Amino acid sequence: MSPQIANTVVAERLQQARERAGYDSADQVAAAFGWPDYAADENGEGALSPVRARLYAHAFHVDLEWLLSGDEKTASGLDSASDAAFVSATPANELADRIDRLTAAQQAALLEFLRALQED
């Protein structure tokens, strides 16, 4: 893979990942993460570096290979057959999914910690 990844197909997948992660606009993402160049990357202007591609994939909870190649086997819920699976990548749903994977003891400890935070 070349050091710079620039094409409209990647830009389209970046927009799709952003929208499905719950962000309405590229400007909203730029403000939320402090990424002044994000809108240009999503619009396919210039070249998307591998480092930024990895950063975006992580932030939007998508597979890097899907973002770069569109390979449906690694789409992490982004292919049309499993669109509903991506709902878990929204921040609130991701949190609920992660809590569900904790043991009962870990959930109790987390609840105790959160209650202590509210008391302060």
For 80, the domain range is 8-89
* CATH classification at residue 71: 1.10.260.40
76 is a domain residue: yes
C-alpha dist (Å) from residue 9 to 43, 45, 78, 88: 10, 12, 14, 24
77 is a domain residue: yes
* Domains in the chain, number: 1
Give me the tens of pLDDT residue by residue for the chain, a chain 120 residues long: 443 444 788 899 999 999 999 999 999 999 998 899 899 999 988 778 888 888 999 899 999 989 988 776 544 544 433 344 444 455 666 777 778 888 888 888 888 888 888 875
105 is a domain residue: no
23 is a domain residue: yes
pTM to 2 decimals? 0.57
- Measured in degrees and rounded to the nearest 5, phi and psi for residue 5 equal -115, 115
